[in-house]
């Protein structure tokens, strides 16, 4: 089919009220999924394929299609198998879904400014905590999600405020717990720990909720041994410390299955223990 025939067909469609365009503008596709990692530039090594799109739908800023992974944005409609269309170098505003790099870790979340002026990246799944963007973090907002099948890319500010408030309430509740109350929760989570190194997940959750000192693996392990002397999988400080690498060195909300010291079902076990400990510390009914 030559160019003139295509023009004739397009003219016939428009006469029938159907607006159609030729897809001639290539948009890069990366098969590196987010939040499990994303290149920081648009070099040839980052590109796995191209989608052709109408020129009128593609602006002057570079774009790329990337697949999401995980369920932290499930309420936004982002599911594994989708392709997120991310536009780089554009202004982002509150309630926009953005691709961000935090201390070298990549994630897609909703950007929002709370009533007190603090900046947050908010998940769209109540199972996950919002991430406050603090001065000690290396944060780069790389781009804005401008398209995805079966979803809206603009969130309700009320929903985002509710998520942030829920996260803050959980953190405050944990910090108000007495040492004895924290001990009770360590004892309770012990039933879920089936390998000595899995105690790292408990330590990391406690660190996220500010109820244990950072880096005090020896003190944490001594505490567990005191509380659960008959436990079949008691932790050793050196072994627990070895797990604090890759994404496991970050808050639980930033753990990534393809950038962790364990993979597959073992990763899910660690994540489940950490999230359950978070629920015990922050309250299941928040």
Do 238 and 150 lie in one domain? The reply is: no
146 compared with 29, residue with greater pLDDT: 146
Do 33 and 123 lie in one domain? The reply is: yes
| Number of helices (H), then strands (E), in the chain | 7, 9
Domain boundary at 142, 163, 184, which?
Answer: 163
Query: Which residues, listed in sequence order, are joined to residue 27 by a DSSP beta bridge?
Result: 51
Do 146 and 183 lie in one domain? The reply is: no
pLDDT digits (tens, 9 = 90+) for 49-74: 665 666 656 667 778 888 888 888 98
For residues 16-45, average pLDDT: 50
pLDDT digits (tens, 9 = 90+) for 61-119: 778 888 888 888 988 888 877 888 888 888 999 999 998 889 888 889 999 999 999 99
For residues 130-146, average pLDDT: 91
SS3 239: helix
pLDDT of res. 82: 83
pLDDT of res. 200: 98
Q: Read off the tokens for 212.
A: 């244990």
pLDDT of 146 strictly over 50: yes
6 within domain boundaries? no
Do 158 and 184 lie in one domain? The reply is: no
What's the angle, vertex CA 18, arms to CA 13 and CA 19, rounded to 5? 95
12 within domain boundaries? no
3-state DSSP helix/strand/coil percent for the chain, to nearest 5? 40, 20, 40
Asked whether the whole model's pTM tops 0.85, one would answer no
Omega into 35 within 30° of 0, i.e. cis?
yes
Residue with tokens 């023009």: 7
Q: Which residues are catalytically annotated?
A: 72, 109
Average pLDDT of the chain is 83
Burial label for 191, CB within 10 Å (0-12, 13-18, 19+), is exposed
Do 50 and 154 lie in one domain? The reply is: yes
């Amino acid at each position: 089919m030559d160019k003139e025939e295509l023009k004739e067909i397009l003219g016939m469609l428009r006469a029938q009220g159907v607006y159609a365009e030729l897809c001639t503008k290539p948009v890069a596709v990366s098969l590196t999924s987010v939040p499990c990692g994303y290149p920081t530039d648009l070099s040839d090594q980052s590109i796995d394929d191209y989608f052709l799109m109408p020129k009128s739908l593609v602006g002057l800023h570079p774009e790329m299609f990337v697949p999401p992974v995980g369920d932290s944005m499930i309420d936004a409609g982002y599911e594994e198998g989708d392709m997120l269309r991310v536009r780089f170098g554009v202004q982002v505003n509150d309630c926009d879904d953005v691709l961000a790099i935090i201390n070298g870790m990549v994630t897609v979340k909703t950007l929002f400014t709370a009533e007190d002026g603090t900046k947050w990246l908010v998940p769209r799944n109540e199972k996950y905590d919002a991430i406050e963007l603090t001065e000690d973090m290396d944060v780069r907002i790389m781009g804005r999600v401008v398209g995805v099948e079966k979803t809206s890319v603009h969130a309700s500010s009320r929903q985002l405020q509710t998520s942030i408030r829920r996260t803050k309430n959980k953190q405050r509740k944990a910090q108000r717990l007495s040492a004895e109350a924290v001990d009770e929760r360590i004892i309770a989570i012990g039933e879920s720990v089936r390998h000595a190194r899995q105690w790292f997940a408990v330590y990391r959750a406690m660190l996220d909720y500010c109820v244990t000192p950072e880096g005090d693996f020896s003190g944490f392990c001594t505490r567990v041994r005191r509380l659960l002397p008959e436990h079949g999988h008691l932790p050793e400080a050196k072994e627990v410390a070895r797990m604090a690498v890759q994404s496991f060195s970050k808050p639980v909300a930033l753990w990534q299955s393809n950038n962790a010291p364990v993979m597959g079902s073992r990763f899910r076990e660690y994540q489940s223990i950490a999230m359950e400990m978070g629920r015990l510390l922050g309250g299941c009914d928040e």
